[in-house]
Amino acid sequence: MQPEALLQKEFAIQGGDFVNAGESSCMIRNTLREIGVDSDIVRRMAIAAYEAEMNVVMYALHGTMQISVYRDEILLTIADKGPGIQDIEMAMQPGFSTATEEMREMGFGAGMGLPNIKKNADVFNITSRVGNGTKLEIRIFLDGKKTRK
């Protein structure tokens, strides 16, 4: 069982709100910096948070992003209500995107979001139910180890 978090914060994300998109990720970054988390870990978590937040903004109706800091790891959980992902394996392929032309013109939809998250996480879990929503779990270990027994 997971021990109690030393710090936990939750943020709401509104689908389609491109103006405020990224603010939750900025707040998560600031929070981690304030409590003195290693700057490389803050940077990795900020990238993962941003990509996950933008996915909610672009594709879902709404969602929540929760950061939990434990003694030996940081867990970021993003859960949304939305269309879900039909084929997760396909969605994980670099370059694959279902973004609209309008999103692509804004510089989104490069098909790098989920691969970027995976690259920066020590553990990455994604589950989705079509017509319901998607949930991501992103863990970064604080003890500098890539894997754990």
Partner 1 sequence: MKIREIVKAYDLHLLTGEKMQDREITGGYVSDLLSDVMAHCKKGAIWITLQAHPNIVAVAVLKEISGIIIVNGRKPEKDTITKAETESVAIMSTERSAFDVAGQLYGMGLRGTR
Q: Which stretch binds partner 1 (CB under 8 A): 40-48, 61-69, 74-82, 126-134?
A: 40-48
The residue count for the chain:
149
Planar angle of CA 144, 37, 27, nearest 5 degrees: 130
Confirm if 65 and 46 have CB atoms less than 8 A apart.
Answer: no
What's the token pair of residue 125?
A: 């879990």
Cβ nearer to partner 1, comparing 14 with 130: 14
Chosen residue from 6, 7, 26, 130 binding partner 1 by CB under 8 A: 26
Please measure the distance between the N-terminal and C-terminal CA atoms of the chain and give it in whole angstroms.
15
Q: Which stretch binds partner 1 (CB under 8 A): 6-14, 68-76, 103-111, 129-137?
A: 103-111
Q: Which stretch binds partner 1 (CB under 8 A): 60-68, 108-116, 128-136, 137-145?
A: 108-116
CB of 107 to partner 1, least distance (A): 4
Residue 15 touching partner 1 (CB under 8 A): no
Give the bridge partners for 64, in sequence order: 12, 79
Give the Cα separation of 15 and 32 in Å (integer): 25
Confirm if 53 and 43 have CB atoms less than 8 A apart.
Answer: no
CB of 119 to partner 1, least distance (A): 8
CB of 75 to partner 1, least distance (A): 19
User: How is residue 4 annotated by DSSP?
Assistant: P
What does the binding site for partner 1 look like in residue numbers (CB under 8 A)?
A: 18-19, 21-23, 25-26, 29, 43, 46-47, 50-51, 54, 106-108, 110, 112-113, 116, 119
